[in-house]
Structure 1
Amino acid sequence: MKTLHVIALLALLSSFAVSCGEKTSAEQKKETDKIPVKLLPLNGQIAAINLINVSGQFTTDDEVMLSFKTGGIIQSLLVKEGDAIKQGQLLATLNPTEIDAQVQQAQLSYDKSVRDHQRIQNLYKDSVATLEQLQNTQTAVDIAQEQLKSAQFNRSHSQIRAQANGFVLRKLASEGQMVQPGTAVFETNGAQSGDWLLRVPVSNKEWAAIRIQDKAQVEVESIPGKTFNGVISRKSEGINAANNSFTADIKLMGEKPAAIAFGMFGKAKITPVVPAATEGDGPWDIPYDALLEGDGNTGYVFVTSDNKTAHKVTVTIAGMEKDHVIISKGLQNAGSLIISGSAYLTEGSPITITNN
């Protein structure tokens, strides 16, 4: 009897051991299915950049390249670089000989067409000329009249007049020079209005952090020791190929500096304002390797909110640094970004965290 109890106990222990062994194996298989990843918490914005130091040159928003509509020889240039100009002021003229001759030819052609039409009209009343002949001469009058208008318009634009109050920034031609239609002769701006802009280059990361109406403190090189208030009035929507950077315009507000000129050097300290939205709003600065399938300004990343499951989301790319990507939208509801192991993930993949 004692022997039977021992045998039964051994069988029970054996069964328990087998059961435990099967459970351990199942758990190991489940753990093996999980993909190891590394995470980056998304609890801060790159707009945490509290101060952005920039420098650039002063300009205005109304630079104009002035030219003649017709070609010819420049007869006179009536202003020099740096001169103040008023709207409507005569700045330059072409030699009028050729254009005056064209206007005179057009006038003679028009006068002849009017005479011909009058003669045919009288003949038509006497039933000598046909209706078609009368209509043809009327058409000739209309054509000659339009040609005369065109010649007179070209003569009026054989002069250059100031489009607004401002200054002559550059003189690009000389008296006696032969110029083609549209060749720039003067570059002017409306600086007399005092609407100065400090145009500064910014990096991708700075561009994403800056918003319109962000405040700035501006220093003018010609007025040391004094700062002026400004705001971001514009951000470029494309990169400047010349210096491989974006640009931002800082408009001076309030007191305007008197000792300032076009092209003068200036500095500014921009304070990006973090929007009063919910915590975790972008933009975000993420590693380049975390971005998948980038196409234009759209890409995909994997995120997780429970540290157990991966989810694929679409993001908007605002810019790229050397080894980082600036994301402006798409990560608002994510807890953490998966920055390693993304290549092995699909939507809903189980994950295990390997961050040290």
Structure 2
Amino acid sequence: MNIHRIYSTVTATLLLAACGQEKHTAAEAPRPVVTTVLPRSGSAGAVITASGMIASSQEVALSFKTGGMVAQVYVEEGQYVQQGALLARLNTTELEAQLLQADLNIEKLQRDAGRLQQLVKDTIATLEQLQNTQTSLSAAVQQKRSMDYNLSQASLYAPAPGFVLQRQVNPGEYKTPGSPVFIIGSNMDAGNPKWVFKAGLSDKDRVRVQEGQSAAITLDALPGQVFTGKVSRLSAIPEAQTGTYNCYISFEPGPAHMVYGLTGKLSIQYAAGDQYTLLPLDALMAASGDTALVYTVLPDSTVQQRSVHIHSIHGDAVAIEEPWPRNLPVITAGKNDAVPGKKITIAQ
């Protein structure tokens, strides 16, 4: 009996201690503050989609005006160059020798013309002989000017800042006049950087698209981000190899780090369509293919994660396939602080 009494006394003491500790629980952590928006219903028209890549707004093929042996190449394919950068130069030994010969020929003709002028005065030479010598002298001077120009063209310089898209030359090669040596891709337009997304359209899609139409771009390397732009240029003839028509979308990347050659897809709406739920682009937490995650807020301020299927992208809105519950807001700002199953505070 004494053992039972001692056990009961110890148990009661522990229970009283536990009740005392409950009175000193820590204060609840502050809730994250988020911004929400109610999705709207809108038309999601027929959309053209095409694969493409980040390209340059201008591509320039560079070549030597005169043929010759390549002495030095200063850049590699894929390298970024500034305007005026020296790219390559020819061996100019032969051109310099020709210029020296031209100088010697001009000096000789100048002496001949001077002597003939005196001989004409003395009626020993005819005026025709003097005139012929003066004509030869003028021709020699113009020929030397042409040689000087050819010598100045023996070096290739970058016409604008950009990337070396193709390098088709190595030191020691002989290049004929006009044969391609470099292709430079530039994103500068009137001194300002201009990024372009290039995609190939089928013949059916080509006739549905016009310059100035809005387009949305997604890049494989930057999942979850959507860039908006406009159709800046459309090719009138198809590519010989693919049979598709090039479509160029000019856009502003904002703070995103853009790199030439990134692959992705574009979407262009060309007709009105059925009604869909439209979510703000800012509501997307992550996207993979046509599936995305969003955070919603239940009536009791609890965060809920929902998976949605993307039908199409329209500027700053995303049309989804699923019907949307009435008065269910999505989080557009503060998503990174929100945790599914936890409560939040909605900013007023």
Instruction: Note whether the superposition's TM-score is higher than 0.5.
Output: yes
User: Is the Cα contact below 8 Å between 1:223 and 1:259 reproduced in 2?
Assistant: no
Counterpart secondary structure, 1:151: helix
Structure number having the greater strand percentage: 2
1:270 aligns with 2:260: no
Aligned to 1:76: 72
Q: Distance in 1 between matches of 2:186 and 2:55?
A: 10
User: Is the Cα contact below 8 Å between 1:222 and 1:259 reproduced in 2?
Assistant: no
Cα gap change, 1:67/1:241 in structure 2, threshold over 3 Å: closer, same or farther?
A: closer
- 1:156-167 equivalences under 5 Å are 156-167=152-163
Q: 1:243 is aligned with what amino acid?
A: T
- 1:254-293 equivalences under 5 Å are 255=254, 257-261=256-260, 263-272=261-270
Counterpart secondary structure, 1:132: helix
1:54 aligns with 2:53: no
Count of aligned pairs: 226
User: Is the Cα contact below 8 Å between 1:113 and 1:137 reproduced in 2?
Assistant: yes
Q: Distance in 2 between matches of 1:247 and 1:83?
A: 25
Q: Distance in 1 between matches of 2:147 and 2:66?
A: 10
Cα gap change, 1:258/1:126 in structure 2, threshold over 3 Å: closer, same or farther?
A: farther
Q: Distance in 1 between matches of 2:220 and 2:92?
A: 45
User: Is the Cα contact below 8 Å between 1:218 and 1:269 reproduced in 2?
Assistant: yes
Aligned to 1:121: 117
User: Is the Cα contact below 8 Å between 2:201 and 2:245 reproduced in 1?
Assistant: yes
Q: How big is the shift at 1:157?
A: 0.8
Counterpart secondary structure, 2:107: helix
Aligned to 2:246: 247
Q: Distance in 2 between matches of 1:109 and 1:264?
A: 58
Cα gap change, 1:78/1:254 in structure 2, threshold over 3 Å: closer, same or farther?
A: closer
Q: How big is the shift at 1:227?
A: 1.1
Deviations 1:270-317 (A, max 9, x none): 12268xxxxxxxxxxxxxxxxxxxxxxxxxxxxxxxxxxxxxxxxxxx
Deviations 1:198-221 (A, max 9, x none): 221112221121111100111122
Moved over 6 A (4+): none
Q: 1:211 is aligned with what amino acid?
A: Q
1:141 aligns with 2:137: yes
Q: How big is the shift at 1:113?
A: 1.6
1:104 aligns with 2:100: yes
- 1:130-209 equivalences under 5 Å are 130-191=126-187, 193-209=192-208
Q: How big is the shift at 1:143?
A: 0.7
Q: 1:260 is aligned with what amino acid?
A: V
Q: 1:230 is aligned with what amino acid?
A: G
Cα gap change, 1:93/1:138 in structure 2, threshold over 3 Å: closer, same or farther?
A: same
Deviations 1:120-149 (A, max 9, x none): 122223333222112111110111011101
Q: 1:177 is aligned with what amino acid?
A: E
User: Is the Cα contact below 8 Å between 1:57 and 1:200 reproduced in 2?
Assistant: yes
Q: 1:97 is aligned with what amino acid?
A: T
Q: Distance in 2 between matches of 1:147 and 1:191?
A: 39
87-96 or 188-197, which deviates more:
188-197
Percent identity of equivalent pairs: 36
131-140 or 242-251, which deviates more:
242-251
Structure number having the greater helix percentage: 1
Cα gap change, 1:170/1:239 in structure 2, threshold over 3 Å: closer, same or farther?
A: closer
Counterpart secondary structure, 1:233: strand
Cα gap change, 1:75/1:238 in structure 2, threshold over 3 Å: closer, same or farther?
A: same
Q: How big is the shift at 1:256?
A: 6.9
User: Is the Cα contact below 8 Å between 1:72 and 1:179 reproduced in 2?
Assistant: yes
Structure 1: give runs of 5+ residues left out of the alignment: 1-47, 275-356
Q: 2:141 is aligned with what amino acid?
A: Q
Q: Distance in 1 between matches of 2:79 and 2:97?
A: 33
Q: Distance in 2 between matches of 1:218 and 1:119?
A: 77
Q: Compute the TM-score of the two structures, normalised by the length of structure 2.
A: 0.60
Q: How big is the shift at 1:49?
A: 5.5
